[in-house]
Amino acid sequence: MCPVLAADKRRKAPGRLGRPSLLPTAALCQRLEIREFAIIRCTLEWTYQWELSLEHGLFRKTQLNALASDLSFFSTR
């Protein structure tokens, strides 16, 4: 099942096993000036790219444009 954008920020707590949520959150989308968002396209490649972006802070303009395109595809107007 495709993930749904989280409405809250989920961070890895100190000493907690496991990984933080890699889903883009509503706060992150607002920070990136993306106002419309819904269900994300569910592919391993997409998830992997987000993981790399979040871990290394690589929010390049081309990645943002691709994200905006994916999100607008699913948005309801």
Q: Where are the domains of the chain?
A: 41-77
3 vs 72, higher pLDDT: 72
Report the distance separating Cα 20 and Cα 34, nearest Å.
Answer: 22
pLDDT at residue 38 tops 50: no
pLDDT band at 12 (very low <50, low <70, confident <90, very high): very low
Question: How much is the pTM?
Answer: 0.19
Average pLDDT, the chain: 51
Report the distance separating Cα 69 and Cα 19, nearest Å.
Answer: 27
pLDDT for position 44: 45
Report the distance separating Cα 2 and Cα 55, nearest Å.
Answer: 21
pLDDT at residue 5 tops 50: no
